[in-house]
Amino acid sequence: MRNPRDAAARNIVEDNRRFYESLWSGARLVRPQRFNTWPLVSRLLAPQQCRVEVAPGLRPRLPLEDTLFIDISHAALASLKAVGARVAQGQIGSLPLASGSADFLCAFDVIEHVEDEDGSLAELARVTRPGAVMLASVPLHPERWNAFDEFVGHHRRYEPERLLAKLDEHGFVVEQSAIYGLQAKSSRVLEAGMWWLTHQRERAMWWYNLFMPLSLSRQPKLVLEPGMIDGVGVDEVLLVCRRRAAATHGNTP
């Protein structure tokens, strides 16, 4: 007998695959040096690291050289491979990596997309070695839930206290954090963007490729603070996490 939860999980994966396959098929690759995360990434880079980025799409944050990029999108992987990156198809809940193999892992804008957050966090913990760094970003505050969250396939927003507790449960300690995100502040801009992506996707992607460089040029400098920032009024947070030597969760090594 089919498990309804398994079927629902497969549907979620397929929904995400369809949305992002279409998105990345029409988008241009943005190199990691263009993002305001690059100074932080550069500071954390070290020789002989095993570096992994999960679900980068065409907006990778880690160096294209010597990083393994894992995504469900064939289009994204093909574009990354075309510029010399190493790629593998997979998803956050089942990563094609040996346990304890990653020294530096990125998971930007992905944890909130997965229904099984414990399974995903356990998998991130499984593939990282003790002492490894994980960079991640997630949206904050359930009360800020909007049509854009629904449109892009989010399953949740996090309260800062619950986020810290959930990461700690899976063996990750938040060392630093910062305000993050490129989402438009105007609800009208978001609504217009969603309409165009739904009804005139080709034209929408033309505008996306035109204005993406402009939005990147206006990114504020990341201001990192120890631990978790005061999340009042913050839509999205970037986290610098460290994998503990021994996790408290039963599903992690």
Taking the CA atoms of residue 230, residue 234, residue 239 and residue 244 in that order, the dihedral angle to the nearest 10 degrees is 50
Residue 80: what pLDDT? 96
Tens of pLDDT, residue by residue over 8-55, are 344 445 555 566 676 677 678 999 999 999 999 999 999 999 999 999
**Position 200: which residue type?**
Q
**Position 100: which residue type?**
G
Architecture of domain 4-243: 3-Layer(aba) Sandwich (3.40)
Tens of pLDDT, residue by residue over 115-140, are 999 999 999 999 999 999 999 999 99
Residue 118: what pLDDT? 95
- Domain coordinates of the chain in residue numbers? 4-243
Give yes or no for a contact between 172 and 134, defined as CB atoms under 8 angstroms apart.
yes
Structure tokens at 19: 């949305």
Mean pLDDT across the chain? 83
Residue 239: what pLDDT? 98
Q: Angle CA(135)–CA(136)–CA(139) in degrees, nearest 5?
A: 155
pTM of the model: 0.80
Residue 218 has pLDDT above 80, yes or no: no
More confident residue, 185 or 246: 246
How many Cβ atoms are within 10 Å of 168's Cβ, its own excluded? 16
Tens of pLDDT, residue by residue over 136-187, are 999 999 998 887 787 777 889 999 999 999 999 999 999 999 999 755 555 5
Alpha-carbon dihedral sign for residues 48, 73, 237, 122: negative
Structure tokens at 234: 């913050």
